[in-house]
């Protein structure tokens, strides 16, 4: 993977699933921004994919 591919994949996931996510919107109301963010990081399958891609991006930057 290269940097541009990873960034494109992150943007696609965010635009497709996260941007208008009703769960995230509801959790922001009930638990606040940090509570919604915690759900996305710990329980959401899309959040897991985003974490994986973020780690891949970090590997690319560490090689430089």
pLDDT value at residue 10? 97
The angle formed by the CA atoms of residues 42, 47 and 41, to the nearest 5 degrees, is: 30
Give the distance from CA 17 to its chain's centroid.
9
pLDDT along the chain (64 residues), means of 10: 94 96 96 96 96 95 82
- Helix pair 3-13, 45-63: axis angle to 10 deg: 160
pLDDT score at 63: 81
Distance CA 6, CA 10 (A): 6
């Amino acid at each position: 993977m290269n940097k541009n591919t990873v960034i494109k994949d992150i943007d696609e996931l965010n635009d497709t699933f996260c941007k208008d996510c009703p769960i995230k919107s509801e959790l922001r109301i009930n638990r606040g921004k940090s509570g919604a963010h915690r759900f996305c990081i710990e329980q959401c399958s899309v959040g897991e994919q985003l974490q994986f891609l973020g780690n891949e991006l970090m590997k690319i930057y560490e090689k430089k």
